Amino acid sequence: MLEQLAGYEGAILSLNTLGILIVLVALEASLSADNAVAIATLVQDLDNPDHQRHALNWGLVFAFVLRIGLLLTATWIMQFWQVALAAALYLLWMAINYFLKKFADSEEEVSQSNESWQASNSLWSIIPLIALTDLAFSLDSVTAAVALSNQTWLILTGVLIGVIALRFLAELFLHWIEKFPYLQDAAYLVILTVGLRMLCKVVSPDIEIPDWLALTLMAGLFTWGFSKQAVLEID
């Protein structure tokens, strides 16, 4: 009788573990769309497709290592508001830097800016940017994962599956950015939105932008990003 009860309880625990893992993967997937498009915009500046793939692969390997570090120190590091502030400022810098270059006054400035930007965007300079960008976007998801379960191995499994999904999602967005001319602008507007939301949490925690409002805004931006397809010119 005791053996039967032990087996029954083991089955319940296994189902519970599986359920938590599914929720963790779903959580990672739902919070990865803006992360994936941000990473895709970084990789898009590399002209060589092989370099793009290598940047995604190595960048997300380092990103996974940083996520593990964040996960293992989450309960301690989240006590410091400076971490969230640094992440918010980094995302805001990404977006503002992009639009400043895009809306430069003269064509000469645009040309010089683009040449300088492309020169600095080598494979090995993009890889750490991918890892840092993923880390900035991961603060919310890692915090939510730690609150969901105290089993470290289970959270690590969910994070690993999430990073693998992020790798393929980023490559998909990379192809879409080439196909839809507005999508890159929409991506940086989403990054700007996420950065501003994180900044609001740090500056005034009592005034928080509701999830439904942020998601609606991001959905609207992505809809605009996909609103026009590039016309291929045939010589």
Question: Quick one: what percent of the chain has pLDDT higher than 70?
Answer: 71
Which segment of 26-30, 78-82, 135-139, 155-159 scores lowest on mean pLDDT? 26-30
Residue 229 sits at φ, ψ, to 5 deg, of: -100, 140
Q: Which long-range contacts (CB under 8 A, 24 or more apart) does 68-71 make?
A: 68/156, 68/159, 70/135, 70/138, 70/139, 70/142, 71/142, 71/145, 71/146, 71/152, 71/155, 71/156, 71/159
Q: 33 or 189: which carries more pLDDT confidence?
A: 189
Which segment of 157-161, 162-166, 185-189 scores lowest on mean pLDDT? 157-161
Over residues 2-18, the pLDDT tens digits come to 344 344 344 444 566 66
Helix (H, G, I), strand (E, B) or coil at 149: coil
Q: For residue 119, is pLDDT > 50?
A: no
Q: 45 or 147: which carries more pLDDT confidence?
A: 45
d(CA 185, CA 189) in angstroms, rounded, equals 6
Q: 220 or 123: which carries more pLDDT confidence?
A: 220
Residues in the chain: 235
CA angle 79, 82, 86 (to 5 degrees): 130
pLDDT at 147: 59
Q: For residue 220, is pLDDT > 70?
A: yes
Mean pLDDT along residues 145-151: 63
Per-domain boundaries in the chain: 2-225
Q: For residue 116, is pLDDT > 60?
A: no
Is residue 94 within 8 A of residue 45, CB to CB? The reply is no
Copy the structure tokens of residue 112: 């010089």
Which segment of 50-64, 150-164, 183-197, 212-226 scores lowest on mean pLDDT? 150-164
Reported pTM: 0.69
d(CA 109, CA 11) in angstroms, rounded, equals 65
